[in-house]
Amino acid sequence: MWIGVWSLKAQSYENASQHQCLKCHSKTSYTYMNTVKGKEEHRLMNPYFVLDTVAMTSGVHKQFDCTDCHSSEYASYPHNGNLKLEPMNSCLDCHGGDESFASYHFERIEEEFKKSVHYKAYGDNFSCSKCHSQHTYMATARNSSSVKDIVDYSNKMCLSCHSDMKKYQLVSGHENPQLVKVHDWLPNQELHFKHVRCIECHTEVTDSLMVSHNILAKEQALKNCVECHSADSKLKASLYKYQNLQKRSEDGGLLSVLSNESYIIGTHQSPLLQLASIIIFLAVVAGIVIHSMFRIFKK
Amino acid sequence: MGSNKIYFYPIWLRIWHGFNALGIIVLIITGISMQASIESSLIAFNTAVNLHNVAGIIVSLSYLVFFFGNLFTKNGRYYLIKFSGFLKRPVKQAYYYAWGMFHGMSSPYPLSERRKFNPLQKYFYVIVMYMAVPLAILSGIALFFPELIIEKIFAFSGISITAVVHSAMGFFISIFLVIHLYVASIGKSPAENFKSIISGWHHV
């Protein structure tokens, strides 16, 4: 019912040219009246202040208007320079301690995040929005049924800084690592990047939280193929467990269970083949032993 | 009889056989270590993968020597299977191994310049060298370049099926190796055949 109230209030992002803020903040340049010079001026917009209005209309905060979070004084231009000194709401200000968001475990996420390498490196300046754009964020991992989409969306969050020199430097103070190069050791790199989330190896996966927010230092990242490609794969604890369960509840077939094990190396994918191979091997060894006994004792 | 010698194994064949033998031994050891996901202190998983890849390439290249060697030299004719007695001949040989050789029977298919392999041996060699090894090589190449593999075969992942084919062939070749080594010890003396494949000369 809150949503009802908000949606009444919200302005449509769809019609950006009519929106008081977006008529400038959705474009790469803007025009304003310079009252000192007494003439109209055309200027470039800071590219980091240009908003993707299409993404905004499907984001989780689409019901909100700009001034619900930003100061209402932004309504006038030129914006008052002191406004940028005002503290912004953090996610927990709205999402923390609220029963309606309990299933998202925001408090636990914060706890985990505080252990992460991001928090250690940048402290409180590393806000949720560094990864989860408050303007456009979608809860893809919860709502999408395509693992490929979930992986893609999740990895783009990491890459928005980790493959962007300027944004990476803002937090770390040094140049961003060459992702392709540091992952050189990983076989089939491209395939892994497309199908596995960065966080699968770079976080401490906990069973009870859907996405771990404890991003580990690179030295602690998984670098061991068998952690995933084995019968008790780490992947089973995260996204793939979720997908596996979902798929099985959908078609309930045996085949889907079998194909879900496909990231396990070799015949371990099929316990039946494994058993068969052990039996065949033992039979051959027994045959050889018996035959050599005959050769020794019955010349 | 006595010291009747035949030059059975020309130099190109012995070189191929040497590379193939060493390569396949490395492939089996690293293959089992990856398969079982054993993180042993002896071979780290990464090392096993790298060794397996390198040995796989070596065995594939040496397979070309085998393949073209047999295509362009007379050695290839030893692998031709005769239609007459298609089943009778290998069964007779198997009977000799299982019963006859312990009851004073002489070898039903003695080796000569015209016959390098007995029928049972020939069948196994053909199956291994013209089916199992090529399949292992092809599926190995496919796993090197997984973008080549069809994504779904019915409900199964193409990569998964390729991996199963690859490891099943690997297993079959391993079993072949065990039998091959054992049967090779059934010669004039247990070491005789091993000497032949190094020197090239076989005592008949």
Report yes or no: A265 at the B interface, CB cutoff 8 Å.
Answer: yes
**Residue numbers in B near A265 (CB within 8 A):** 34-35, 37, 163, 167
- Which residue in the set A226, A267, A288 is minimally distant from B182, CB to CB? A288
Please, where are the H alpha helices in chain A? 2-9, 22-25, 53-56, 66-69, 91-95, 106-115, 117-122, 140-143, 147-162, 165-172, 179-182, 189-195, 198-202, 225-228, 239-251, 254-259, 271-297
A69 lies in the same domain as A137: no
Report yes or no: B172 at the A interface, CB cutoff 8 Å.
Answer: no
Lowest-pLDDT range of A122-136, A160-174, A206-220, B9-23: A206-220
A14 lies in the same domain as A117: no
Please say if the pLDDT value at position B78 is more than 60.
yes
Residue listed under structure tokens 């914006």:
A79
> How distant, in Å, are the alpha carbons of A161, A177, A214 from that of A124?
17, 23, 15
The predicted model scores a pTM of: 0.59
A247 lies in the same domain as A123: yes
**Residue numbers in B near A226 (CB within 8 A):** 37, 39, 45
How far is residue A154's CA from residue A157's CA, in Å, rounded to a whole number? 5
B75 CB-contact burial (10 Å; exposed 0-12 / middle 13-18 / buried 19+):
middle
A81 lies in the same domain as A136: no
Q: Where are the domains of chain B?
A: 5-203
Boundary residue ending a domain (A43, A58, A88): A88
Q: How far apart are the first and last CA of chain A?
A: 94
Which residue segment(s) compose the domain that A99 sits in? 93-224+240-251
Name the domain count of chain A. 2
Q: Angle CA(A11)–CA(A17)–CA(A21) in degrees, nearest 5?
A: 60
ipTM, two decimals: 0.86
Please, where are the H alpha helices in chain B? 11-35, 45-72, 88-98, 119-127, 133-144, 158-184, 192-199
Across chain A, what does the average pLDDT equal? 80
**Residue numbers in A near B102 (CB within 8 A):** 294-295, 298
pLDDT at residue number A235: 63
Read off the pLDDT of residues A248-289 as tens digits, 9 standing for 90 and up: 455 444 444 333 444 445 445 567 787 888 999 999 999 999
A82 lies in the same domain as A137: no
Q: Which two tokens stand for residue A180?
A: 């392709």
Report yes or no: A284 at the B interface, CB cutoff 8 Å.
Answer: yes
Please, where are the H alpha helices in B73-112? 88-98
Chain A contacts in chain B segment 47-86 (CB below 8 A) = 49
Report yes or no: B117 at the A interface, CB cutoff 8 Å.
Answer: no
- In this complex, do B164 and A285 lie within 8 Å of one another by their Cβ atoms? no
**Residue numbers in B near A268 (CB within 8 A):** 35-37
pLDDT at residue number A92: 87
Strand pairing report for A39-44 and A29-34:
antiparallel
**DSSP letters of A53-114?**
HHHHTTSTTTT--HHHHS-GGGGSSSPPGGGGGSPPPPHHHHHTT-GGGGGG-HHHHHHHHH
A143 occurs within a structural domain = yes
A17 lies in the same domain as A128: no
Report yes or no: A220 at the B interface, CB cutoff 8 Å.
Answer: no
Residue listed under structure tokens 């395939």:
A191
Closest-CA residue of chain A to B147 = A191
**Which of A225, A247, A280 should we substitute to test contact with B (largest number of B Cβ atoms within 10 Å)?**
A225
Higher pLDDT, A236 or A23: A23
A56 lies in the same domain as A102: no
pLDDT at residue number A256: 41
Report domain B5-203's class.
mainly alpha
Higher pLDDT, A256 or A51: A51
How far is residue B14's CA from residue B199's CA, in Å, rounded to a whole number? 8
- In this complex, do B97 and A273 lie within 8 Å of one another by their Cβ atoms? no
Read off the pLDDT of residues B47-76 as tens digits, 9 standing for 90 and up: 888 899 999 999 999 999 999 999 999 889
- Which residue in the set A224, A255, A294 is minimally distant from B102, CB to CB? A294
A296 occurs within a structural domain = no
Residue type, A268: H
